[in-house]
Amino acid sequence: MPLSATCRLLTCLALLAGLPVAASAQALAADIQRAEEIVMGKCFICHGAEGESSSPVFPRLAGQHAAYVARQLADYQSGRRKSSAMQPMVEGLSAADFTALGRFFETREVHLHPVDDPELAQMGRFIYQRGNPYSGVPSCASCHGAGGQGTPNLPRLAGQHAQYTERQLRAFNLRERNNDNAVMHTVAVKLTELELKAVSSYISSLK
């Protein structure tokens, strides 16, 4: 093949490869803009403008996986996940809004947070990384990752407020949170009070 034809072919390939990227970047920008409107309209009061909620009662959303966020919002809307705070927030929002909000929070900057009780967090580190082999608590890291980053199908835990994590673990245990709790119920039911507090403290220290 002559050189000029090769170059044209390469340009063509680059364009073919580049076009979908440009289109998806545009879609992302549109989603972020739509999400910003919603967040500044109501979510920021509790979750902060950048997903960095200031009160330990409200979960931090910065860095949370988009698909997980979208699924939780749909579950609040359908009532599969119950919360008197969240149900009215999702009224009138569409599935496209949930996707946009997911992409918004996933792309917010995450921060490192100090812990109140480093000794407690140190104990939680063992539970998180290794589980409790004597009572059958599995290692949290085996699913949520060694750094608590989660996966697109599994929530990120790193940096979450300890108080929120504790509440969710209790809710999984009592089956009050039952939108998708088959796995987490079997985990939470095995945790002692000390393990629950310790692991929640450790999680809050991860970035």
73 binds ligand HEC (CB under 6 A): yes
Q: Which of 63, 67, 72, 204 binds ligand HEC (CB under 6 A)?
A: 72
Nearer to ligand HEC, 28 or 86 (CB): 86
Q: Token pair of 24, please?
A: 């998806």
121 binds ligand HEC (CB under 6 A): no
Beta carbon of residue 137, minimum distance to ligand HEC (angstroms, whole number): 6
Q: How far is CA 151 from the centre of its chain?
A: 9
Rounded to an integer, what distance in angstroms lies between the CA atom of residue 50 and that of residue 111?
11
Nearer to ligand HEC, 13 or 95 (CB): 95
* Contacts (CB under 6 A) with ligand HEC, residues 1-60: 38, 42-43, 45-47, 57-59
Rounded to an integer, what distance in angstroms lies between the CA atom of residue 110 and that of residue 160?
10
Nearer to ligand HEC, 28 or 130 (CB): 130
Rounded to an integer, what distance in angstroms lies between the CA atom of residue 23 and that of residue 105?
21
Find where tokens 């245990």 sit. 173
Rounded to 5 degrees, φ, ψ at 11 are: -60, -45
**Exposed, middle or buried, 88 (CB in 10 Å: 0-12/13-18/19+)?**
exposed
Sign, Cα dihedral of 65, 111, 162, 36: negative
User: Are the C-beta atoms of 187 and 142 separated by less than 8 Å?
Assistant: no
* Contacts (CB under 6 A) with ligand HEC, residues 82-111: 83, 85-86, 89, 101
Q: Which of 77, 99, 168, 204 binds ligand HEC (CB under 6 A)?
A: 168
Rounded to an integer, what distance in angstroms lies between the CA atom of residue 127 and that of residue 130?
5
The candidate with the shortest Cα–Cα distance to 39, out of 69, 15, 78, 67, is 69
Q: Which of 184, 198, 201, 204 binds ligand HEC (CB under 6 A)?
A: 184
Nearer to ligand HEC, 46 or 115 (CB): 46
Nearer to ligand HEC, 8 or 42 (CB): 42
Q: Which of 125, 144, 161, 197 binds ligand HEC (CB under 6 A)?
A: 144
Interface residue list for ligand HEC (CB under 6 A)? 38, 42-43, 45-47, 57-59, 61, 64, 69, 72-73, 81, 83, 85-86, 89, 101, 127, 137-138, 140, 142-144, 154-155, 157, 165, 168-169, 179-181, 183-184, 187, 199
